[in-house]
Amino acid sequence: MDTMSAPPWLDSLLSSSFFTVCRTHGDAARSECNMYCLDCAGDPFCFYCRSSRHKDHQVIQIRRSSYHDVVRVSEIQKVLDISGVQTYVINSARVLFLNERPQPKSGKGVAHLCEICGRSLLDPFRFCSLGCKLGGVKRNGDASFSLEAKNGASMERREGFSGEEEDLRGGLQQQDIYPPTPPPPPSSARRRKGIPHRAPFGS
């Protein structure tokens, strides 16, 4: 596989076991190994190991959601093109999953499925996780993790899309605040004579 399509540390990241107790700092409060160094591409390490061994390196922090490893989009998108991967908002942060998650067979009528594992997706993405995108890169070669390729091919498209999105949001807000004006009554209604009133009873 071309290293331009996927960086050499990605396989190691996806096969690593996180949230084990650090052998060096096991008695410390923050001793769980939830850090990964992109420069060293070695084993996960804890908060204290980062300060002593990876101070000036590129490091990302892995988090947990329902016993599955996730990484914040704001961190991983600096080093990988994550286009095509389904993202989720968890605890007010946008994240994506490192690897596929087992699930029951998708029922009929599911609109979006992961191309690799078949997991149902909320939005029209191609993959459910970084691991499945890597599988797509290896299998089909029509996806890439290269930021250079992404920036060169989609800069204008992304700028145009964001402008359309802002216009759409503005239109929806305006419609919510100001209800539409009712249409004028038919012209025949304006030509009707006054409504007859019953004469008052005599005293």
For the segment 73-94, what is each residue's pLDDT rounded down to a tens digit? 999 999 999 999 999 999 899 9
Mean pLDDT, the chain, whole residue set: 78
For residue 28, CA distances in Å to 17, 24, 51, 81, 103 come to 20, 9, 14, 35, 36
Convert the pLDDT of each residue in 186-197 to its tens digit: 555 455 556 666
Tell which wins on pLDDT, 52 or 202.
Answer: 52
CA–CA dist 149, 129 (Å, integer): 20
pLDDT tens-place string over residues 98-148? 999 987 666 666 788 999 999 999 999 999 999 999 999 988 877 788 877
Residue 151 pLDDT > 80: no
At 178, list the tokens.
């100001």
- Segment 162-190 mean pLDDT: 38
Give the confidence band of 55 by pLDDT, cuts at 50, 70, 90.
confident
Q: 173 versus 156: which is more confidently predicted?
A: 156
The Cα–Cα gap between 73 and 82 comes to: 8
Question: E strands along 41-109, which residues?
Answer: 59-65, 68-72, 88-90, 93-97
Where is pLDDT greater, at 147 or 13?
A: 13
Cβ distance 61 to 78 under 8 Å?
no
pTM: predicted TM-score of the whole model, two decimal places: 0.68
Q: What is the rounded distance in angstroms from the CA atom of residue 37 to the CA atom of residue 172?
A: 44
Average pLDDT of span 37-46: 93
The pLDDT, as a whole number, for residue 20 is 95
Is residue 163 pLDDT above 80, yes or no?
A: no
The residues, ordered by sequence, that sit 6+ positions from 75 with a Cβ below 8 Å of its Cβ are 60, 61
Q: How far is CA 28 from the centre of its chain?
A: 33
**Predicted local confidence at residue 127, as pLDDT:** 95
Q: Which two tokens stand for residue 74?
A: 């704001």
Average pLDDT of the segment spanning 49-77: 92
Residue 134's closest CA among 1, 20, 29? 1
**In the predicted structure, residue 156 carries a pLDDT above the cut 60:** no
Query: Strand, helix or coil at 191?
Result: coil
